[in-house]
Structure 1
């Protein structure tokens, strides 16, 4: 899918700065900025490297200042924000911006057009910028492309200022230079393929501002270091290339076309892949590739979200089926499950995966989501029974034993077999925001989705015990008792419609209407009796469903937050208190298909409801991807990460489920979407 933005759109700064693009390379690195190329976040940059030493993402090359010299005139076509002014104002020359196989910017200077394209090369920490001019007349003066690299060289979460510690010296590299501003960070090599010179001219660009950080209540000004200036001679129809990398390219006289060859090879690969991603499902499957990375030691991982999240256990397992088994990456899905299983410690899957192997084991439900991911694997690949028996089954038994025997920190089983989680001071479920050490969404006790996930794990273990003839792991009677107790504990009778409580405690249930109750219906082994399904679906549909996902709290609640805005504390107060999350649509779709008496009609209604998510949002925020969250109230503005793994994965799974359940309805909806119908 391509997203094109014309001149009026590009020059509408208020809107265009809210549209962002992202490039990835399969290593955890990325390049990202706004539609204009003006950085609006401290996380934006042309080369943001996910390093192992020092660990974490680091903005190396923040941006470049670009200008076109023709005779005695100089046209600046890049853009930055400084206090009270945008300078340069390159957006005034921007005619079109396109997000397709890679980002393309097209500028016009009189009759002359200049294209600027960029891409990261997969498997390498290598950015390539490509420039080409056209429309040159006989009387056009000689043209020079002037490029000033602006370096940040700092962790992505922090900002930098001009300082005497930075080493400004540059060193010669083939057709370019290298610089190593700080000992702790790698050298940066910038090289060209073209008729170019580099002149060392160290300088600081001060008080560069990032408007989104200002809105989010963070520091928003920094200084960027300019090591020097490239001047590259341009000829019509002959592209020139500039690279940025942590490795020196072997651009010898005999290999002056090396960079062009790298570009052409990657362009052909992406063009071919795009042909296979022309449908909405194909596009989401293709977008999912951005979250799949491979560490330097060969281990696979899933980035939870760009630009600031790393690899999280819960997010990885929820996203895994959509990113792999529903996206044609079956073997990678199996490999990920094997790798994740190998990180298990005393029945626990890490909450956070670290590149250095020092994982964090502080999550009560990652292991239960592992069981669900295994179920999804077995549903998609029933022929992988040997892997299920030899790799997954021993780990599932370890999980069941750890939870049942009270060996999971902050988890205690009760007499009926349910799990009590945490204290009033802890946040151990996915609704985990805290402000000043205080849980915003207290869910200590027995959260409804933990009960549902635990029951599902026990039921699957019971099935595998029967399948692999291990009767000591059978637990049919326990499961029957749990279903009966669950309904008595969680069912809430209400004049506005019955539903499930969010948390059960001995002193009384938490009666807030939240989407977590869906998992009591949607999981492969539902803990809720079928007679209650329709009531749950009806209440969730009326109170929580929006065109972009599900609210985390019903608007009628006194602590409902309609907008996700303000500083860190204010946003954390809203994070799970009404904010909309797209990833919940997967569970909602499963619930619809189980509860609906008219499946085609229900599928049609759901597709009609979520149409704006695909018809409008994909061209907004993180263009081509699905955001982490949206405001609870209309117009449901996107927020959080601009590209979130479980948002993309569960939206793809949503479409697959609906297509399988009602293919004719889905085909009609898809055809209407292609024609731009409402």
Structure 2
């Protein structure tokens, strides 16, 4: 799938600056900017690379100032925001932007057309930018492409200021220069092919402004380093290339060989694109960008056990982490496991999914899956539900491929057993087990579930006690563990059937809320009291493979969620009737965190809603048809309005449900894809008509 934007769309800055593209390489690196390549975030950059030491992503190359020189005039194609002015104004020459397998922009200067394309090489820390000039007139004057790299060389969460200890020097290389403004970061090689020259001319480009950061209440002005100038003679019909990388390409390629790198990568990307023409195919390809190999740089510890060594041998080339969201999220255990089925098993990537499950199973400590995974292995264990989502991910693997039982026996069952036994004994930090077998989690100062926002050190949505989805996930884990133990003929396994039978009865007694507008489940049960606010977490009591709720009550829960929480882009986190409902996600960090789970819409919840809807429906095709029609804007309008081709993290609670948060969120993409597959399997004729309508523009 490709997303085309014409000249009026590109020249309308108010709209174009809200559209963002993203390019990745499978190593955690990315390139990203607005549609017109004017950076609006401190997270934007043409070469943002993931490093192990120092840990995190770092904006090395922020942007390029590019221009075409001909007949004594200089025409810019780049754009930046400075105080009170956009300069240069390259968007005024832009004729078209196409976001497809890679970003492509086309500019016009009279009879001269310039196409600029860029991509990150898969599996390598290399940015390639390709320029091609075409001319309608045979009498074209000599043309020179001028490229000035503008460097940030800092952590993606920071901004750079003029001065300090930045090293402005550049060292000449065969085809360009190398720079290292910060000795803690990798050396950056800047090179060009064709008839190119590089002239060192160190300077500062001052007070570049990032409008989205200003809106978000963060630092929004930056000074960028310009180390020197490339001048490249261009001939119509012959492409030239500029590269930025942490490896010197001159050691490997001659002046014209960089073009071959581009052609090889372009062929692979184009072939992938041919297999991504359907919506599900596109989302499956989109999901691939979240699967990465973490940087090692000598920091990755050696396998601690023979089992870990076996995993490395069997899955050594597979991804070992899931980026939770671009631009700023790292690898989170909870997000990884919720997203994993949609990113892998439902996308034809069983090998990658197994690799991640095996590695996550090896990371279990005291029954806990890490909530934050780090390249050096010093993971952070501070969530209650990540381990329970691990069990669900294994269930999804077996549902997609029952033949994977031998894999589950070898790599997953030891982790599941450890999780269930540790939770059942109450030996997990911030957790205890009550007399009925339910889990009490946290206290008034902790946030251990997915609704984890805090303001001034205090939880925005205190959910200590027995959150409804924790009870549902725990029951699901117990049931599945019993089933799996029987299938595997596990020794010394204590069956939990009696406990589970009692839990089902007690669950309804504790959580069921009778209301004249429709019965539903409370969000938290705590010391005999209920939090009766209507939230989406109750869905998991219906949607999980082994539901804790009695079947007769499924429809009421789904109905109340549909009435209060369902939107065309996902589910609200709180019903609008609640006094503390936030209709908009806006303002500074405190205001945004205060709204994060207080009405803001989350797209990832559509997966659970679809599972619950089909389980409760007496007419599955009709239910599938209604849901597809409701969510059509998520799969059409939205994918062309924020992070182009992807699905955002969150949306405003009230119409028009403006997208916000990360422009590409792993579990948003994954659960949206998994939902489509679920609906297609439940109602194939309905789904086929709906997708045909999308292709014909009828939806």
- Band the TM-score falls in, shorter-chain normalisation: over 0.9
Partner of 2:178: 178
Query: Is the contact between residue 131 and residue 241 of structure 1 (CA under 8 Å) also seen in structure 2?
Result: yes
Partner of 2:64: 64
Query: Is the contact between residue 574 and residue 600 of structure 2 (CA under 8 Å) also seen in structure 1?
Result: yes
Partner of 1:229: 229
Task: Give matches, 1:386-405, under 5 Å.
Answer: 386-405=406-425
Partner of 1:588: 609
Partner of 1:551: 572
Q: After TM superposition, give the deviation of residue 251 of structure 1 in Å.
A: 5.9
Partner of 2:389: 369
Partner of 2:304: none
Task: Give matches, 1:135-534, under 5 Å.
Answer: 135=135, 137-250=137-250, 255-297=254-296, 298=316, 300-470=320-490, 472-534=493-555
Query: Is the contact between residue 204 and residue 226 of structure 1 (CA under 8 Å) also seen in structure 2?
Result: yes
Q: After TM superposition, give the deviation of residue 628 of structure 1 in Å.
A: 0.3
Give unpaired runs (5+ residues) of structure 1: none
Q: Distance in 1 between matches of 2:251 and 2:263?
A: 16
Query: Is the contact between residue 251 and residue 258 of structure 1 (CA under 8 Å) also seen in structure 2?
Result: no
Q: Among 637, 643, 650, which residue is 2:658 paired with?
A: 637
> What is the total number of aligned residue pairs between the two structures?
677
Q: Distance in 1 between matches of 2:198 and 2:65?
A: 14
Q: Distance in 2 between matches of 1:662 and 1:207?
A: 55
Q: After TM superposition, give the deviation of residue 139 of structure 1 in Å.
A: 3.1
Q: After TM superposition, give the deviation of residue 140 of structure 1 in Å.
A: 2.5
Partner of 1:573: 594
Moved more, 498-507 or 282-291: 498-507
Partner of 1:654: 675
- Superposed CA deviations along residues 139-182 of structure 1, whole A, max 9, x for unmatched, are 32211111110000000000010114111111111211101112
Calculate the aligned-residue CA RMSD, in Å: 1.0
Q: After TM superposition, give the deviation of residue 507 of structure 1 in Å.
A: 3.9
Q: After TM superposition, give the deviation of residue 296 of structure 1 in Å.
A: 4.1
Corresponding residue SS for 1:533: helix
Q: After TM superposition, give the deviation of residue 186 of structure 1 in Å.
A: 1.0
Q: After TM superposition, give the deviation of residue 255 of structure 1 in Å.
A: 2.5
Q: Distance in 2 between matches of 1:575 and 1:542?
A: 21
Q: Distance in 2 between matches of 1:256 and 1:229?
A: 18
Please give the TM-score of this superposition, normalised by the length of structure 2: 0.96
- Superposed CA deviations along residues 248-270 of structure 1, whole A, max 9, x for unmatched, are 01267x83332111100010001
Q: Distance in 2 between matches of 1:532 and 1:303?
A: 37
Query: Is the contact between residue 175 and residue 251 of structure 1 (CA under 8 Å) also seen in structure 2?
Result: no
Query: Is the contact between residue 159 and residue 221 of structure 2 (CA under 8 Å) also seen in structure 1?
Result: yes
Q: Distance in 2 between matches of 1:480 and 1:677?
A: 49
Query: Is the contact between residue 579 and residue 632 of structure 1 (CA under 8 Å) also seen in structure 2?
Result: yes
* Structure 1 residue ranges, 4+ long, deviating more than 3 angstroms after superposition: 296-299
Q: Distance in 1 between matches of 2:519 and 2:450?
A: 24
Q: Distance in 1 between matches of 2:164 and 2:427?
A: 52
Q: After TM superposition, give the deviation of residue 136 of structure 1 in Å.
A: 5.1
- Superposed CA deviations along residues 546-604 of structure 1, whole A, max 9, x for unmatched, are 00000000000000000000000000000000000010000000001100011111100
Moved more, 297-306 or 627-636: 297-306
Q: After TM superposition, give the deviation of residue 378 of structure 1 in Å.
A: 1.1
Q: Distance in 1 between matches of 2:418 and 2:525?
A: 26
- Superposed CA deviations along residues 296-327 of structure 1, whole A, max 9, x for unmatched, are 45561100000000000000000000000000
Q: After TM superposition, give the deviation of residue 473 of structure 1 in Å.
A: 2.4
Q: Distance in 1 between matches of 2:388 and 2:123?
A: 32
Query: Is the contact between residue 468 and residue 524 of structure 2 (CA under 8 Å) also seen in structure 1?
Result: yes
Q: Distance in 1 between matches of 2:264 and 2:216?
A: 40
Q: Distance in 2 between matches of 1:165 and 1:376?
A: 51
Q: Distance in 1 between matches of 2:676 and 2:205?
A: 47
Partner of 2:305: none
Give unpaired runs (5+ residues) of structure 2: 297-315
Corresponding residue SS for 1:326: helix
Q: After TM superposition, give the deviation of residue 472 of structure 1 in Å.
A: 3.3
Corresponding residue SS for 2:464: coil
Query: Is the contact between residue 68 and residue 146 of structure 2 (CA under 8 Å) also seen in structure 1?
Result: yes
Corresponding residue SS for 2:60: strand
Task: Give matches, 1:120-131, under 5 Å.
Answer: 120-131=120-131
Query: Is the contact between residue 466 and residue 474 of structure 1 (CA under 8 Å) also seen in structure 2?
Result: no
- Superposed CA deviations along residues 47-103 of structure 1, whole A, max 9, x for unmatched, are 001111111000000001011100211111100000111000011000100001110
- Superposed CA deviations along residues 589-631 of structure 1, whole A, max 9, x for unmatched, are 0001100011111100000000000110111111000000000
Corresponding residue SS for 1:473: coil
Corresponding residue SS for 2:409: helix
- Superposed CA deviations along residues 203-225 of structure 1, whole A, max 9, x for unmatched, are 00000000000000011001000
